[in-house]
Homo-oligomer: A and B are copies of this chain.
Amino acid sequence: MPDPSPPTSANYHHGNLREALIKAAVQLAEEGGPENVSVREAAKRVGVSPGAPFRHFASKTALMTAIAEEATSRFLAEIASAVREVAVDDPMGRFAAVGVAYLRWAIRNPTHFQIISNRSLIDWDGSASLQRDNAAIRALMEEALTEAQRRGLLASNDLAEAQIAGRALVYGLARMHIDGHFAQWRVDGETAERTAQNVLKHFTTLMGNR
């Protein structure tokens, strides 16, 4: 009996192992959370030996970082797009748009949000794109609030405090959602997004001078 599947020219070289590994790792995270991702299992699913992934990623952290880079890029794009749809002379509207878009993306992409929120799986300091995109997201929020204060549209007179508060609200709501805290109230997935956004909008108006 001949070898049923020798490493012939057809499959010895995968062709796009890097992308395939990223896809497999994301799938593993979707099945059992980011902690469930294992390089070996991803390699197995792609049909490659356990050592192969390390030709493309120096470490498991590097693999997860690559996933985070892709995700953060899309995250930023969606937030920036939402901001662009608000009138330039409405900073509080831009601020609210950032928050709503942030939450919307986090809720609709829970796996990726969990990955980019997990400090221990990712090498933040080692990725220029991660730092740049995250800074850009922060800048979008900060610009809106700074401009709002300049125009006297902000209730608080402490800009830093308002920025931290806004960030905490959005981040807290997003984390409550992915950590399952909403189940402690009666909120059921479907309404979670609407509820969180209502809370956010209510507070952005509360932060504004009306």
Contacts and interface: CB of A to CB of B under 8 A. Distances in A.
Contacts of A138: 184
Nearest to A178: B119
A169 to B, nearest CB: 6
A156 B33 contact: no
Contacts of A202: 156, 158, 161, 165
Interface of A is mostly: helix
A174 B199 CA distance: 19
Nearest to A184: B138
B185 A176 contact: no
A179 B33 contact: no
B161 A199 contact: yes
A104 interface: no
Contacts of A179: 117, 119
A165 B169 CA distance: 7
A165 B176 CA distance: 11
Interface string A150-171: 0000011010110111011111
B119 A198 contact: no
A199 B166 CA distance: 10
A77 interface: no
B181 A171 contact: yes
A171 to B, nearest CB: 5
Given A175-B172, A185-B160, A199 B33 contact: no
Given A33-B120, A119-B180, 14 more contacts: A119-B179, A138-B184, A161-B198, A164-B173, A164-B182, A165-B199, A165-B202, A167-B176, A169-B169, A172-B172, A172-B175, A175-B175, A203-B203, A206-B207
Interface of A: 33, 35, 117, 119-120, 138, 155-156, 158, 160-161, 163-165, 167-173, 175-176, 179-182, 184-185, 195-196, 198-199, 202-203, 206-207
> Which 3 pairs across A and B sit closest by C-beta, in order of nearness?
A172-B172, A168-B172, A168-B173
